[in-house]
Chains A and B, each alone.
Chain A
């Protein structure tokens, strides 16, 4: 593909390269989108999708290459400028002001005024125009955004871009927090917008969605375009091959494991809303995975086990302790939890690596219960080494580390505290492949007892939305559907299809 002036493409990105220090994030990427096309952009985390979109939205500037929008040179200075020029980004984390109404949000930053006075009539007119581009009963111009569901908020965000006449919309993982019904509705709206001639760049991890909604797809791997295909012409397996480009087996080490005594038993556990009914026995020396759709109650299950959410009914038994307990008591019982929400909950990002790693285990770091920073540094250095955490020194602020290294530090906290039961919620969410591989390796070592201080195997309960990972790492997998946990079946009896069927309620495991 060259910068062909005769091209019918609405948007062209030509020879885009971007380096960060020594690493090449994008290497001469060519990408184009036609009018009235849904073009999916797929690739693993770290493949360069977000970097490419940040260049498109003006958040980054590319080192080389040019962009054309409607055959004109396009050089956005920042995301707002990009939107005004016709490229609107809709992110997974929405950026609406919850206290303002729908129309105020849509026109935010470009309110029509006369002599400094808001022209409310004009506001209404423009907002309604934008909203009318798609059918949605919930969205009224004067509803406060805080009253809207997540899916409706997303549409408001889309309307915001439509109100300024954007011809290119970028949807970044738009379905990650939506229910099945909402996803259906979003797809219809995307179809509508497409028929109105809009170009849509659709970023998603879910290949089934891509197959369904997109016309063409472009696969990125390690900063390079692997290829652009008509969606009709490729199978999901072919897409995965393009994305991964390597043998999947090598990523997931699995030593021979011998499950021992039960260490965590839950019986008919129910929380406030989720989970509704969960029973499971977790043994020493095994990794049990929990699959399910977002919102099924997987996170709530382990939060309830860990005492972060209240137990409504049912029982949790940890070794010889039974009954509900606070997180503090759980740590003392030898249970540790890794949060899926690294920035908000998992880590205190303003604190150092060593403070984060030792936060739940400050004992034994000095005489008389004192915490001696030097001892702390020394102890944490060992974990940094074992988990290959890339940082300057244990005292470095953790927010300066990459996501993968932050996650390894969060996992190191569980190892440092010496827990026997590890509850891991999406342990590899949003991190690079190298860090993932390290985490899989550590999970395997923990489960076999190799490298543990006492040589005893540990028990791991792990949530993941990524099926190949679950199938690769776990010994048994249970599926959560609408708050109910299925029986955990050995992975040898399972495949992605069976798990998906159970997760969507179309079958039992």
Chain B
């Protein structure tokens, strides 16, 4: 029913709710933050009961290692989704990034570090292009990035002549490699530590900087943000640029893991990335989402995949389970918010 409630009703309801539910609210807000984490524990426990090998350090290392590519891209995607946008070109940018790194090393003979930076920069540029089209031409992000999904994939294939580019051994290839016995004390591969570091930085940016507050404000209500003097367009370009850069970074990890720059890799990976954010509590309507949640979302998906493999289940089971988790996570989230409201 579309009508404004009278003041009396709103006020009194508010007060009544405030008194009755203030303790319940505090509890709910904790459940809000812990929700994805509880889901992770639940899924993990489920597979651990089925197969105790899930509890070994090796299994955990594999899970984290397998999460890094989606996880890094999901850091950027979280920003986009909080701002009420979407980036469908993430998977293609990952492939493009991996091809660029490989090309820079093999064709231009650059060292690993400049090549890696080049890959990230390439992703950043695609992100800037996404952001500029979205803000300048006022086209919805879904359409713009649906377009660049194809464009970027096409360029990746063109650049690589449609075949994977093999790279020679360098430290880059150790980023996601399983740790040798003498470095087991590091617990997880360097790439995973990099992911965690990036996540901490971006989570800090979201919480403690103007940019971060502005991203939430734009996603919550763009008109309000504009009224309040937020440079909406500029912030959006930055958000998509960062999303591109993080996907480029994920592309670097992809290259490192596969030891080649493959233009056909990371097909449809944007869906995994988006799913990670959504399982982690991000709302496609904007204004809600957290980096920690998204990473947990990404890990949940890997746990399901790894757990299924350990049990020798066919891949279709993994797909069904992952799909179900996405829907259940969002449905539970809705339910919780309805109760809270």
Contact = CB atoms under 8 A, between A and B. Distances in A.
B229 A331 contact: yes
B interface SS class? helix
Interface residues of A, number: 69
A25 interface: yes
A181 interface: no
A350 B340 CA distance: 13
Given A23-B8, A432-B7, A432-B8, A371 B15 contact: no
Interface string B5-18: 11111111111111
Given A25-B12, A51-B9, A350-B221, A371 B209 contact: yes
Contacts of B7: 45-46, 402-404, 430-432, 435
A372 B207 CA distance: 8
Interface in A40-93: 45-51, 54, 57, 59, 79, 89, 91-93
Given A355-B216, A370-B209, A23 B226 contact: no
A369 B210 contact: yes
Given A46-B8, A404-B7, A350 B287 contact: yes
B16 A22 contact: yes
A412 interface: no
Given A21-B16, A351-B217, A172 B209 contact: no
A308 interface: yes
Contacts of B224: 339, 345-348, 356, 359
A348 B287 contact: yes
Given A351-B287, A355-B213, A50 B4 contact: yes
A48 B11 contact: no
A392 B18 contact: yes
A117 B207 CA distance: 55
A360 interface: yes
Q: In this complex, which of B17, B19, B212, B220 has the most chain A Cβ atoms within 10 angstroms of its Cβ?
A: B220
A45 B11 CA distance: 12
A85 to B, nearest CB: 16
A350 B288 contact: yes
A243 B60 CA distance: 70
Contact of A92 (B3, B221, B288): B3
B200 to A, nearest CB: 15
A372 B8 contact: no
A196 interface: no
A362 interface: yes
Q: In this complex, which of A21, A51, A347, A369 has the most chain B Cβ atoms within 10 angstroms of its Cβ?
A: A21
A245 to B, nearest CB: 15
A348 B10 contact: no
Range for the number of chain B residues in contact with chain A: 35 or more
Contact of A345 (B12, B13, B212, B223): B223
B15 A23 contact: yes
B320 interface: no
Nearest to A351: B220
B2 interface: yes
B208 interface: yes
A432 B91 CA distance: 52
A327 B226 contact: yes
Contacts of B17: 21, 400
A331 B7 CA distance: 30
A330 interface: yes
Given A330-B229, A359-B230, A51 B8 contact: yes
Given A350-B288, A359-B213, A359-B224, A22 B12 contact: yes
Interface in A338-384: 339, 344-351, 355-356, 358-360, 362-363, 366, 369-373
B49 interface: no
B41 interface: no
A133 interface: no
Nearest to A372: B208
B208 to A, nearest CB: 5
B227 interface: yes
A31 B287 CA distance: 44
B13 A21 contact: yes
Nearest to B4: A430
Given A404-B11, A430-B4, 7 more contacts: A20-B9, A46-B7, A47-B6, A344-B221, A344-B223, A348-B217, A359-B217
5 closest A-B pairs by CB: A21-B16, A20-B12, A23-B12, A46-B7, A432-B7
18 contacts: A22-B12, A47-B8, A50-B4, A50-B6, A328-B230, A346-B224, A348-B221, A349-B220, A350-B220, A350-B287, A351-B221, A351-B287, A355-B213, A359-B224, A359-B228, A360-B230, A369-B209, A392-B18
Interface of B: 1-19, 22, 25, 207-210, 212-213, 216-217, 220-221, 223-231, 287-288
Interface of A: 19-23, 25, 45-51, 54, 57, 59, 79, 89, 91-95, 172, 223, 308, 326-332, 337, 339, 344-351, 355-356, 358-360, 362-363, 366, 369-373, 390, 392, 400-405, 413, 430-432, 435
